[in-house]
Structure 1
Amino acid sequence: MKYIDEKFADIQILRYKLVGFEELSLRQKIYIYYLSKAVLSGRDITFDQFGKYNLRIRKVFECIYLNYDGNRDNQDFRALVIYLKRVWFSNGIYHHYNCDKFTPKFSKSFFCEAYDALPYELLGLSSDDAKQELRAELLKVIFDEDYLPKRVNKTEGVDLIRTSACNFYEDVSQKEVEQFYGSLKADGETRPASYGLNSKLIKINGEVKELVYKADGLYGEKICQIIHWLSKAKQYAENKQQEKIISMLIKYYQTGDLALFDEYSVAWLKEHEGQIDFINGFIEVYGDPLGLKGSWEGIVEYKDVIATKRTQLISENAQWFEDHSPIDDRFKKKTVRGVTANVVCAAMLGGDEYPSTAIGINLPNADWIRAEYGSKSVTIGNLIDVYNKVSHGSDFMSEFVIDSKTRQLINEYGAICDVLHTDMHECLGHGSGQLLKDTAPDALKAYGNTIEEARADLFGLYYLADDKMLALGLLPNREAYKSQYYTYMLNGLLTQSVRIELGKNIEEAHMRNRALIANWALDMDTEHQIVSLEIHDGKHDVMVKDYERLRNIFARQLAEIQRIKSEGDYEKARMLVEKYAVHIDFQLHQEIHKRYEKLGIAPYKGFLNPWMKPKYDAAGNIVDIELDYTESYTHQMMRYSGEY
């Protein structure tokens, strides 16, 4: 199988394989197929959430791509195609990671010429006047770099809502948003709803109102399509609990009632007998600067039964890990409940999980559900496998890893430690600890996502070096963990900065988390006898001199991060993030970019989905689901735009 499809801009497109799909029963294959259709049906929701002009721009550029009759080899047209590919990849005109608006490499005059040649009917418009209005609108959005420049802005000291282009809000300020949702909270509420998760907040005639995503509300047409495919999938569910879950999800989509979403989430947690599972909904809140609004996403998956034995072993020992955590006893869960962890094969990715996707997931996000019922985690094994395959043989290690001894350590143990750290992060890290009774779940506001990701990462880092890992047979020896410690510090201090445009700050929560941990560790190591940045031949290298003492630093960080989370210490969260996680030294940043350019490695990767093709008998019954791995990136994106 060919794993690499193409490379453009800073992106490499990969393919993943559905390992073991052929061995599934016909009923299971059909179940996956219908769940996959439901996952793909929400694509336009994510595009719209990520910017109010995204769908219009995508349609216009796809029309130009299909109908342009000029010289397709000229520089402007090639640049326009790359722009379109980036729009597909990021679900809009903003970079999927740093959230900056794309800068077009084609001229305004070329765009106008290509646009003007399109009939208004082809654009779905009613007249030439409407076409001219759209033209003026798009010229401002695409070419004015100061107009809506950032999808998610987290810069301290500004109105994060008015300066963010995400389409969760309209004509409201940050203060108005905080007041609106603050007024919905009841004192002493023990099971708070995830207020604002599935809605858009707008102001009409001076009054702030919520538009709820539901079948007869905002995004109603797309949600009805999702419901249609979920209803068909329900007929092929593996058990009664799966049928119940789908029915509850449909009811939630019909009503938009967040209490029903919580009930669905609890029922979803309890289903672990079936081999097939899915996520479908407004889930993660990274796309909202205040961490309230859920971006639409979907994934269909099935268990890797053999690899799942590893994560089940971890989850079976969840109470031991909680009891022995280096955090204050006040913040430990006396009883860890309902920790379920599986290694899965992704079968279909959609919405905010496509083409760029997570390799591990832990849900639900509601703290009270985690406390009372637990959480469900997955490590997506077939995606990790592709990452490992395509990275093998690159010159990254020789360029950035300090010496041959460390490179050998990473070659031997890097893959297993990467997977195990993801397991610990997702299976136990996010589900560990507890909020104090009077701490609001959103007390950390815009810094909450970064602190939460740092908490889960530190939990995994701390325990990778524990003898418990050897006792459980999860690591082969006491040296293995060092590979993860080194690569984590290398990434946080140096190499992840290649993902940021030169001179810009770090914005994305996961990147901020890694920078926070690594830079804070340097600061805590005042004598530089544990970890340091050293210069050799004019280039910076990471040197870890004492791995055991580095673990002690991680332990102290975890204790403080958990305290901040449990107590809702907003000021300390703000101080840590702003000091360690946002800014990049310009000269160091420039150096990393130059070193990467020499290697020719794309810093971002995403995936094509397999094309699922049902086969029918003479009576119209599905007799098999065949998988096509040959579809190109452009064909898949154009096909999805036509079908969904």
Structure 2
Amino acid sequence: MGLPHRFGRSVVGIALSLIACSGVRPSHVEPYREVRRGPSKATVLDSVGDATVASYPPTGFAALTPSQRALAYHLVAAAWSADSLLTMQSSRFALPAQAAVRAILAKAERLEPRLRERVLACRRYLFLYHGLHDHWTSLKITLPISQSEFERAAQSTGVAVAPELLAAMFDPKVEPMLVDKNPGPGKDPIVESAASHYQGLTSKDFETYREKYELNGRLRKENGKIIEEVYRAGDARTPPGLAASEIRHIISHLRDASAIAPAREKRALERLVTYLETGDNERMREHDIEWLTEAFPIDYAFGFILTYDDVRQRKGSFLAFVSMPDPERNGPLQALAANAAYFEQKLPFAPEHRRDVFRPPAAAAVMALAATAGAGPFGFGGINLPDAQDLKEKYGSKNAIVLSVEDTNRAVMGTRRTTAFAPAEDRAEMDRCAPYLWYALAGFHEITGHGSGKVMPSLADDPAKPLAPHFGAMEEGRADLVADYLTGDPKTVEIGVLPDTGCARVYPAAKTTMLLTNHLQVPHGDVIEEDHQRAAFIELGFLRDKGVISVERRNGDVFFVVKDPDAWRRAVGELLAEYQRIKATGDGAALRALVEKYGLRLDPKLRDEVVARNAALNLPKRIATIPPTLIPIRDGAGRVIDAKAEQTASLDAYIDLIEHANHAQ
């Protein structure tokens, strides 16, 4: 997921497709075309800190069948009910902070208007960030209300707020980092990280302890004893676990969905329900195998999947995602998937590190109908699941590029950032090719990037374990480099992923400009924590050292210039081959050396310049995308028989909807 939209190892990676790729497509496909969604269709709802919040229309939803629309509603309702799970995992103070704000606003009539608006603004922050930290930078957010104002609001409404919670909300020294992989000499990364996966443990505890529930568990230490807890609802034979009531509510909607889903999707959903009831990860593996073998018209991804918020990269943050296909822009992506075996052989991997057995992966261009917990509202550009290496190699994967995210970004941003940050000689071509370049990057990143390569039989475990805590950065960087390398292959134009050789030629300049503007994602300090960002800065540092990116100052502004696209791709291939060797062999020392050389720190002066130039353009640093609101249509017995979708018109109304789904349980 090395795209500029956050998602985990698997994302720019989840899959939802209308048609599974089951055979070879024609050698030429109509190129990806700009269709339907013009700039006027996205609506800016609000600004929350440095984020612009925008919604998009439910284009194509009315063309679904009534049963598909009803299925979409049930899956979306399950996703709405899942949002608080990520908040719970973010910090032990995140849910209590939301609860305190919710309690104050329940008696909002007691507040003067100005103070009421400050509390509402605080609510928006806590919602967008799922608590007190920015999951993209790991930094603690600064709430738009002072501690004294918050205490006054609490006192006016009779809400008791513990001093410990106030300190967590307003003292920058309390839990300053969501994830702190490099806390400094004498400090423990587990202790210094706010994420609630471990309570009372240190890194030393894991020298001998091995947990049973790696992805969906939480560990706490009491009186010297480690206690493992599991997120599960419980059933007749299994006691309930963490977040049992929240998960039961998700399950109720998933059961409604499975009752009307097509046969194979029904079987997958039934296994997902069993997993959420029991916490048994074997049931999730069974679900994944069933789910990835066929793409569904209304598809989904639910589970404890994203490992970015864990310094050990073992614990999975929950995500919930529902989508519908975008058939008008699907053809080139299907062709890319059908040619995955061809592209694998063109990669600069050692022969023993290439995959030699291929099931054509499912792939689709989609629109998000729901993106909650770890999937939103700072959306992701694509998905590739499942994460487990053995499942990928044996069964393949599902993939999607989420065009609703990119459509909204381009509608809000236009091409002004390209004009400001790209070298003058490349601007016109980059502007012409912009949507195609993003489509190619997302498609190759997911389908051929995450899905490529194999590990050596001598590597006894999934490579994520020996390569932690840097596996996520390597895997996102590897997937991006696959895209960077293969967009120069003639077949990319032949199958319609790029429309012509001009766009293939300008791709290196466009990607390099992205590496410059990527400095906006680390707005403070000089430490890089988030895996996608580390991947980007490793690529930038390596390519600069190879001399294929030159740094030039023109009229006082700095630009990254690519003068020889072919040399740029050769250097990309060199780093890509090394990444694949590291993954295939589990060479943690080599990976650590790359991260320490290029991926830990940035040049704050350059970053400050990029931030200032962007501010002068009055452009958002990032965009939170809000999906449409689905409204059920019921028969006389109360059964959902259809649904309609409306573009979300208010951020506060959307928060109301999500809060009701999470707390009216």
Aligned to 1:316: 338
Candidates 60, 63, 67, aligned match of 2:100:
60
User: Separation in 2 of the partners of 1:517 and 1:483?
Assistant: 18
Deviations 1:334-384 (A, max 9, x none): 112342111112111121112111110000000000111111101112222
Deviations 1:398-448 (A, max 9, x none): 321120x31101111121011111001101110101111232321111100
Paired residue secondary structure (1:117):
helix
Deviations 1:480-512 (A, max 9, x none): 1233322221222x2111222332312111111
Q: Which has the higher contact order (CA 8 A, sep 6+)?
A: 2
Aligned to 2:389: 367
CA positional deviation for 1:209:
2.2
Does structure 2 retain, via aligned residues, the 8 Å contact 1:18–1:346?
A: no
User: Separation in 2 of the partners of 1:26 and 1:299?
Assistant: 20
Aligned to 1:335: 357
> 1:144 aligned to 2:168?
no
Candidates 194, 209, 219, aligned match of 1:180:
209
Aligned to 2:130: 91
Does structure 2 retain, via aligned residues, the 8 Å contact 1:417–1:484?
A: yes
Aligned to 1:257: 280
Aligned to 2:629: 611
Paired residue secondary structure (1:73):
helix
Candidates 165, 176, 191, aligned match of 1:162:
191
Candidates 469, 489, 492, aligned match of 1:466:
489
CA positional deviation for 1:622:
3.8
> 1:534 aligned to 2:552?
yes
> 1:505 aligned to 2:527?
yes
> 1:627 aligned to 2:651?
no
Deviations 1:110-133 (A, max 9, x none): 22211112224xxxxxxxxxx3xx
Candidates 298, 305, 308, aligned match of 1:276:
298
Question: TM-score, with normalisation over the residues of structure 2?
Answer: 0.88
User: Separation in 2 of the partners of 1:398 and 1:40?
Assistant: 38
Report 1:225-264 matches (<5 A): 225-238=249-262, 240-264=263-287
Does structure 2 retain, via aligned residues, the 8 Å contact 1:280–1:299?
A: yes
User: Separation in 2 of the partners of 1:119 and 1:397?
Assistant: 51
Report 1:468-507 matches (<5 A): 468-492=491-515, 494-507=516-529
The letter for the 2-side match of 1:578 is E
CA positional deviation for 1:44:
1.3
Aligned to 2:372: 350
User: Separation in 2 of the partners of 1:552 and 1:87?
Assistant: 44
Tell me, which stretches of 5 or more residues in structure 2 are unaligned? 1-40, 234-239
Does structure 2 retain, via aligned residues, the 8 Å contact 1:5–1:632?
A: yes
Aligned to 1:106: 145
Aligned to 2:12: none
Aligned to 1:379: 401
Moved more, 3-12 or 449-458: 3-12
Deviations 1:271-309 (A, max 9, x none): 23x311111111111111111111111111122233222
| Superposition CA RMSD, Å | 1.8
Aligned to 2:583: 565
Moved more, 201-210 or 215-224: 201-210
Moved more, 417-426 or 65-74: 65-74
Tell me, which stretches of 5 or more residues in structure 1 are unaligned? 121-130, 185-194
How has the CA–CA distance of structure 1 residues 549 and 225 changed in structure 2, closer, same or farther, with 3 Å as cutoff?
same
User: Separation in 2 of the partners of 1:586 and 1:387?
Assistant: 26
How has the CA–CA distance of structure 1 residues 102 and 234 changed in structure 2, closer, same or farther, with 3 Å as cutoff?
same
User: Separation in 1 of the partners of 2:281 and 2:636?
Assistant: 44
Q: Percent identity at matched positions?
A: 27
How has the CA–CA distance of structure 1 residues 546 and 12 changed in structure 2, closer, same or farther, with 3 Å as cutoff?
same
User: Separation in 2 of the partners of 1:596 and 1:27?
Assistant: 46
Does structure 2 retain, via aligned residues, the 8 Å contact 1:414–1:483?
A: no
Candidates 414, 419, 429, aligned match of 2:439:
419
How has the CA–CA distance of structure 1 residues 472 and 146 changed in structure 2, closer, same or farther, with 3 Å as cutoff?
same
Aligned to 1:286: 308
Deviations 1:543-585 (A, max 9, x none): 1110111010001111011111111111111111121122111
Moved more, 595-604 or 614-623: 614-623
Aligned to 1:37: 77
Does structure 1 retain, via aligned residues, the 8 Å contact 2:526–2:603?
A: no
Q: What number of residue pairs does the alignment pair up?
A: 610
User: Separation in 1 of the partners of 2:648 and 2:352?
Assistant: 54
CA positional deviation for 1:156:
6.3
